[in-house]
Structure formats: C-alpha cells, structure tokens
Copies of this chain bind each other. A is one copy, B any other.
Amino acid sequence: MENDLPGNTVVRLSQYRRLLEKYKYLDEPYIFSHDLARMLDVKAVQVRHDLMLLGISGDRRKGYSVTALIDKISEKIDRPEQNIILVGLGRLGMSLVKYLKDSNARLDVAAAFDIDPAKINHSCEGISCSSITNLPDYVRQHDTTIAILAIPPEDVNDILPILLDAGIKGILNYTSEHLAVPDNVFVRNVDMLTFLEEIAYFTNS
C-alpha cells in the first residue's frame, strides 16, 4: 500500500477521525472544516488542504458528511490489522495496556514481554506477559511488526537488538533513550522531558 503522506498529515487525519467519531456518536451528520480546525487548534486552510487529499468536498451550507469523512480517512490511513506487542510491563506499560483497552481502539496490544521474573506469566487486562526470550518466536509466528517500548532506559541496549533481530519495524518509544535503528524501522519518541521543557518555554515568557 502507498504510504506517501507526511507523518504530520497522518497524525492530523488520525486526530480528525477521533473527533469525528464523537460527532457520529452524537448523531451530528455534518461538520464544517472551520469547526474541525477550531477544535483541534489547526488552521482552517490546513484542514481544507488535508481533506482535499482525501478527495472529498463539503457542501457549502451543511459542511462535510461526518460518516463519509471517517470512511475516507480510514481508507487512507488504516492498514491491515497489525499485531502490537508491549515490551516492559511496569506501571507505565500496564497503564498503556489499560488505556488502549478502555479506548476501544482499532489497534490493541496482543501480548506483553518483560525480563522481570516477577512479571512473567502474570497478566494485565487480559494480556499475558512472557519472558523476553520468547519474543522472537512470537513475533515470527504472529507476523508482528509494531512494539511499544516501556522499559527502563538502562535496559535499552540489551532489549533493542532483540526487537530488531526479530523483525520489528515500528517502535513507540517511551524510554528517554535515542534508539539507533536501520532506515526501514520507524520510531516515534514519546519523551516527557522534552514535552515539559517545551511547555515551560511557552508558559513563562
């Protein structure tokens, strides 16, 4: 499948869809691009440009059909079902599993792995936790491509090569460590320290 959209566009389309799903739930059949823009703090011209990419146009008086927008966004950004694993079932990992379960997301964690014997063979929100030594077999058997990394930073050097060797191609990185990965592996870093420094910069002027 084509993946020719820039990352930021995919992120915005995903955010539009989340908001549109609330509209759908409230039985609102139409929405204006400027309402989407206002609610997501995006410029209206940016929203219209993004929606144009979907090949969909709004009615001048009523706006865009909510269900049509959701369908078009899904067609554009969704990929065949992917198996996601969680690596590191500490407090953060457990809260992430619970969050995904609660949000009824299309994407879901299928299995968890840890190095801590106290966690192995336990389960969290219906997800069982196995030893990291079982990860390569699991990934091969289930054709898994995505891992959420929620391990302590000092374990990254030991764990990352296991993920890469097993064939993981996308990592959501909750450690504050930089991950050195080949070009064909996509990493999204979620680094609280950087976010807090950015917020501090913009709130104390």
B residues less than 8 Å from A180 (CB atoms): 39
Of A43-51, A61-69, A186-194, the one touching chain B: A186-194
B residues less than 8 Å from A91 (CB atoms): 91-92, 94-95, 98
> When A5-B201, A199-B172 are in contact, do A194 and B14 touch as well, CB less than 8 Å?
yes
Bound together, the chains give a CA A1 to CA B200 distance in angstroms of 12
Of A52-60, A77-85, A113-121, A133-141, the one touching chain B: A77-85
Mark each residue of chain A from 1 to 37: 1 if its CB lies under 8 Å from any CB of chain B, else 0: 1110101001100110011000000000000000000
B98 and A18: CB pair below 8 A?
A: no
B103 and A200: CB pair below 8 A?
A: no
Bound together, the chains give a CA A79 to CA B1 distance in angstroms of 45
B14 and A80: CB pair below 8 A?
A: no
How many copies of this kind of chain does the complex include? 2
**Interface residue range, chain A:** 35 or more
Mark each residue of chain A from 142 to 178: 1 if its CB lies under 8 Å from any CB of chain B, else 0: 0001101000110000000000000001111000101
Interchain CB contact (< 8 A) of A197 among B14, B98, B198, B205: B14
> What are 23 of the A-B contact pairs (CB < 8 Å)?
A7-B198, A11-B195, A11-B198, A14-B197, A14-B198, A18-B176, A41-B187, A77-B201, A79-B201, A79-B205, A82-B200, A91-B95, A92-B92, A92-B96, A145-B203, A148-B196, A170-B200, A170-B203, A172-B199, A188-B195, A188-B199, A190-B190, A190-B192
